[in-house]
Structure 1
């Protein structure tokens, strides 16, 4: 069971896992909280925490929901409430992330049969992503119900998609399938992220755009460390965690723990432990975690305890403690590397098209 000495004991981890599992619906879906929305990305994040804490039956039920909720075109709806679809548009990152969850499950449990059962679901979801690629290699954000594409590329989303593509390539190796098109797509996304920031919507006030390109060990350590150091003062609130948005006095638990994972990927172990400890003020006695805190008022906001926040705490604890066989996911352990170096200024010869 993951634990972080002096901060997050095995008993605390069990309570957090139980708090996530308590929200799971009979269908296997993992909503944000009881009665709340389910989206495919956060659902997978919560499922990975169940895997990391040994709740195999609940984790498998969550992935079965992912498999059965997939639409005929390979996509998922953006939002569900119970068994009902609330928002039908297709988010590219949501369709990519099951690959990350299935790869993590494989690393934790080593169950080839599970991978073989889930691979068609993963592959069809990734095909949706491939259908949303832009000429410059980045992936457009979404497709509406009428088929029109929301031609905006999100840096955080593409960094997450890059990790998912690499996980899909790893899964393809497990099932013995050659996927050169996924390798090309992953390299295209990475090149765009590293060499063409102009292709992405400016969301730089959000902390995720700062640290997300580091996750998955996709940057050389010196580059990763320089990126994290460059904006630390904008986002880190010492003793509390990190801001979700640079110009708002609001720290959030999931972003702080994702930052912990990025620090861990960059080998900044002491800072990773410090930030993990700093966000524990969001813990509830039942083991769940409040989403965030408006710190001038010491007010929890929104007034919700989200499964995806608790899940990211567990995944960060696993990474720091090196407990399960999946602890290296966000360091990129076991994954095909793809393009590992940022584009050097003056060497890019790709089209300037956005």
Structure 2
């Protein structure tokens, strides 16, 4: 249902079953949500955050663009998904990065963010396991390889990955917990992709292990962004924190970020909940074995669904209005991916639980005391093991 014709020239691919969440969303609902993304896709294939709102055009960034492409695939919209990947491959810079932002095809923030570069590995792995199209993965392998090398060029001796390389080539002086948690999952996907294509990269796996250890055990390695809910749940969603540690982490700030009957706040000190953060928390809960809690939260956030299948970005519950006043593609994408995670309709649904049959979870660092994590970050990061 809702499947696009195969992209011309692509290898034969299997079309996934469109997910549904019984009693919440039907397959037709999921397709309608994905179609709301397609309506905002630019002729180039780029997917902005939102269409022009109050005269302000939406911007494009590589991370949210990949997330949207994954959602399109889940909904069976293979043509738009492939156009999204083709555009991203063509927009990659020689150093393996992408600009942080484009607006209407023009670069507005040229710095290269590490988590944005790395996320292409998640998208390509998701496309491969969902469609079985290895020819596509081989075509995208040089793109993934360059992006991961760019990302690891920002890894410090301790193991965290600095968040951006600025336009002039200088690296940021700090790392972000949410970004590094996402990069951990990206590196696991990149390692699996490399092995699948006969191009093993054991040094990437070592880098992932070190990064995962720092995320799980060294909060001092990261800039203080604790007011953002993503810093709360992303170590669970990305995989470095699972099991009892994850349950403790989620319980510690549940009442800070989750508003009964409405969803998950974006930030702790503002009275608004967002569908994207809520659905990411849904996926984090499910990944840690709490499907009932995940389903309850997913059901709750449906108050942000628009009649055309798109989703309002958020709800300001003191003023009783949608805030900000847009319906965003990344929000629609998070809803589609969360629905798939809850019901396991496509092979890609397990991407937050396991990669190539290996469960995501705490990194295996043989001797944390001797791993170098006590070293301070350096201004010009050096990858000591790579």
TM-score by length of 2: 0.88
Match of 2:353 among 324, 331, 353: 331
Residue pair 1:220, 1:341 contacting (<8 A) in 2 also: no
Q: Where does residue 51 of structure 1 map in the other structure?
A: 73
CA–CA distance in 2 between the matches of 1:97 and 1:81? 20
Residues 184-333 of structure 1 mapped to structure 2, 5 A cutoff: 184-333=206-355
Q: How far off is 1:86 after superposition?
A: 1.2
Q: Where does residue 4 of structure 1 map in the other structure?
A: 21
Structure 1 unaligned blocks of 5 or more: none
CA–CA distance in 2 between the matches of 1:31 and 1:182? 30
Q: Where does residue 177 of structure 2 map in the other structure?
A: 155
| 2:159 matches 1:137 | yes
Q: How far off is 1:236 after superposition?
A: 0.5
Q: Where does residue 348 of structure 1 map in the other structure?
A: 369
| Cα displacement string for residues 291-317 of structure 1 (whole angstroms, at most 9, x for unaligned residues) | 111111111111111000000000000
Cα 1:100–1:324 shift into 2, 3 Å: same
| Cα displacement string for residues 132-152 of structure 1 (whole angstroms, at most 9, x for unaligned residues) | 011210000101111111111
Q: How far off is 1:239 after superposition?
A: 0.8
Number of matched pairs: 353
Cα 1:159–1:308 shift into 2, 3 Å: same
Q: How far off is 1:255 after superposition?
A: 0.3
Residue pair 2:239, 2:361 contacting (<8 A) in 1 also: no
CA–CA distance in 2 between the matches of 1:45 and 1:200? 24
CA–CA distance in 2 between the matches of 1:45 and 1:315? 9
Q: How far off is 1:335 after superposition?
A: 5.4
Runs of 4+ in 1 over 4 A off after TM superposition: 335-339, 341-344
Q: Where does residue 24 of structure 1 map in the other structure?
A: 41
Structure 2 unaligned blocks of 5 or more: 1-17, 52-56, 378-386
TM-score by length of 1: 0.96
1:149 alignment partner, SS class: coil
| Cα displacement string for residues 212-233 of structure 1 (whole angstroms, at most 9, x for unaligned residues) | 0112444342222222112111
Q: How far off is 1:184 after superposition?
A: 1.0
Residue pair 1:187, 1:339 contacting (<8 A) in 2 also: no
